[in-house]
Structure 1
Amino acid sequence: MSTDPISSTLKIAASALEAQSTRLRIVSENVANARSTGQTPGSDPYRRQTVTFAGEMDRLSGASLVHVSNIGTDKAEFRKELDPGNPAADAEGYVKLPNVNMLVEMADMREANRSYEANLQVVKQARELINLAIDLMRN
């Protein structure tokens, strides 16, 4: 089992960067499809995607890493809007809209972005420590 704390720190931060990158991609897809309707009358529109994280022990370093365990769909009801001219409108003129709440998506995006930036800062600090150690060995 590796006891190098800098290596473990880098593995943890890298796993978090990858997980938050996936989360940002899913949030971006949700935002991009927030007004996407079905193709035929009464058909279902885009369904909001969700990300589930899970912890995982790295056997080599003993570090607890994070990874995306599942990309699922939100089972919440679709919103309905009266739009009789829309090709996706049902017999009463209502169109089903995605179950995407822009406030929730913006909050998720902000949280994922901050987590990504924090982990990126950890990688930068670890790199500086490695460079400092190399400089000390040269002297």
Structure 2
Amino acid sequence: MNAQSVRLNTTASNIANAESASSSAETVYRGRHAVFAASYNNMLGHPDTRSAGDQSSVGVSVLGIVESDAPLQMRYEPNHPLADEKGYVYYPNVNVVEEMTNMISASRSFQVNVEVMNTTKQMVQRVLTLGQ
């Protein structure tokens, strides 16, 4: 859930800055994306006792956030206040449609994780009432 929260925040940041203009390629906002990695945890807490095929507890951790290397958008707008000496204004390399797709995916993944947690909680509560 934490990883999807980071993904939602970076996507929201990208969408918020999608139309921010700049006068140079060095200062323009660049799209950011979270990098995930699978993390395996042994249920007993001993990572050295885990066999190669044992995936008793699998999760996702965020390795970091990287900037996109997609090309920036250069638009010829000579009347824009941030236009350079050639009349170009630089815009971020953010595709709003792609970012909205990422946001929907992250939101649904987060929602599914919440439902799994709630189902697990209900199952544990029912197991505890079996002895009564």
TM over 0.5: yes
Report the number of matched residues: 120
Instruction: Return the TM-score normalized by structure 1.
Output: 0.80
Per-residue deviation at 1:88?
2.2
Q: Would you say 1:42 and 2:24 are equivalent positions?
A: yes
For 1:52-106, what per-residue CA distance to the aligned partner results, in whole angstroms no more than 9, with x for missing partners?
Answer: 1101122428412211112000011111112223332111211010000001001
Per-residue deviation at 1:130?
1.1
**What letter matches 1:53 in structure 2?**
F
Aligned to 2:50: none
Instruction: Return the TM-score normalized by structure 2.
Output: 0.84
- Paired with 2:97 and 2:4, the residues of 1 have a C-alpha distance of 19
Percent identical across equivalent pairs? 32
The match for 2:41 among 50, 53, 58 is 58
Per-residue deviation at 1:47?
0.3
Aligned to 1:18: 2
Gaps of at least 5 residues in structure 1 are: 1-16
**What letter matches 1:26 in structure 2?**
T
Aligned to 2:52: none
- Paired with 1:57 and 1:42, the residues of 2 have a C-alpha distance of 44
- Paired with 2:115 and 2:24, the residues of 1 have a C-alpha distance of 48
Aligned to 2:68: 74
Per-residue deviation at 1:35?
0.9
**What letter matches 1:105 in structure 2?**
E
Secondary structure of the residue aligned to 1:67 is: strand
The match for 1:102 among 91, 96, 102 is 96
Gaps of at least 5 residues in structure 2 are: 47-55
For 1:100-137, what per-residue CA distance to the aligned partner results, in whole angstroms no more than 9, with x for missing partners?
Answer: 00010011011111111111110010010011112212
Structure with a larger share of its residues in helix:
1
